[in-house]
Amino acid sequence: MIKKILVPTDFSSQAESALKVAAQIAKKNDCQIYLLHILEMPVHLVDLMSSGASAPAPEAIFFMKQTHKKFEEVMASDYLQGLEIIETVSFEDVLHGIMDSCKKNDIDMIIMGSHGSSGFEELFIGSNAEKVVRTSEKPVLVIKEDCDIFNVNDIVYATNFDDEDKPSLIAAHEFAKQLNAKLHLLWINTANSFKTTSETEEKMNLMIADLPIDNYTLNIYNDINVEKGILNFANSVDAGLIGISTHGRKGLSHFINGSLGEDVVNHAKRPVLTFKI
């Protein structure tokens, strides 16, 4: 059950799109929204404020006033009226600020905006959404542009149909039920990991046999790699959302192997919901 939603904001248009989706979900489920701004200040100012100094530096006061003004502008938005919004500020980096806020406030879901990344930026830096997806123990819904989340009729959930993915699949099904959407369970067949249709169908049916799910379809799709298969199948059914689980690889393992969930988040134009295995 979703009761507390964290929405990181840098007051950009992408962050506003995420907040609009969070507002839609909050109104349907009577949720609290924690609106988090990462206040990036020079290190010496952060150290001064964290030391408990009785008189913050003028520069710090200026940054805080600017942030407060932006919060006021956001809170005046019509789509937030009637909702419980808790404004929070973190002086940590983006990733640690979000993760610490999740733990401190017992967050159920993160909804964040992203413009994705590509080329050298993707390889060496990565988007903030990608870093959060890699790290978060909570589901992360990544929004690229304004959308009516409750007008989503079809959700694609890509899975390898292994037992370890059962909890994530059940969570994806529950989210689909909230949206009154059909869930399309998807296996991607590639040349490097080819399985016959009969093998795949047997694995599918064995995995879902004892799961409490309904309103779903089983699908096998062939493509040159898994990521392209997910994106192309989602296009073919005009899915409103893509769901996927992630192992959250870190460090050298992530650099060598990458992460399918992060790649889909970066390259999909439609919303992506990730679950940590």
Q: Which two tokens stand for residue 260?
A: 């399918």
Alpha helices in 136-242, H assignment, sequence order: 166-179, 197-208, 226-236
The alpha carbon of 73 is separated from its chain's Cα centroid by a whole number of angstroms, namely 25
Q: What is the mean pLDDT of the chain?
A: 86
Average pLDDT of the residues in 144-161: 94
Report the CATH fold assignment for 4-143. Rossmann fold (3.40.50)
- 85: phi then psi, degrees, rounded to nearest 5: -115, 125
CATH for 149-276?
Answer: 3.40.50.620
Phi and psi dihedrals of 158, rounded to 5? -85, 130
Give the whole-angstrom CA distance, residue 6 versus residue 32: 9
Q: Read off the tokens for 269.
A: 């134009």
Q: Which one, of 39, 141, 10, 23, lies nearest residue 85 by Cα?
A: 23
Task: Please give the radius of gyration of the chain, using alpha carbons only, rounded to the nearest integer.
Answer: 20
Which residues are paired to 113 by β-bridges? 143
**Contacts of residue 11, Cβ cutoff 8 Å, sequence gap at least 6:** 37, 70, 74
Q: Are the CB atoms for 146 and 174 separated by under 8 Å? A: no
Structural tokens at position 254: 């992530």
Measure the CA–CA gap between 232 and 98, rounded to whole angstroms: 31
Does position 122 have pLDDT exceeding 80, yes or no?
no
Mean pLDDT of all residues in 18-25: 97
Residue 58 — pLDDT band, cuts 50, 70, 90? low
Please, which pLDDT band fits residue 119 given cuts at 50, 70 and 90?
A: very low
- Asked if 4-143 and 149-276 have one fold, the answer is yes
DSSP E strand stretches across the chain = 4-9, 32-38, 84-90, 109-113, 140-143, 154-158, 182-189, 216-222, 241-246, 272-276
Q: Is the pTM of this model over 0.85?
A: yes
At residue 200, φ and ψ (nearest 5 deg) are -65, -45
Confidence tier at 117 by pLDDT (50, 70, 90): low
Give percent of the chain above pLDDT 90.
Answer: 66
Domain range summary for the chain, segments of one domain joined by +: 4-143, 149-276
Contact 162, 187 (CB under 8 A): no
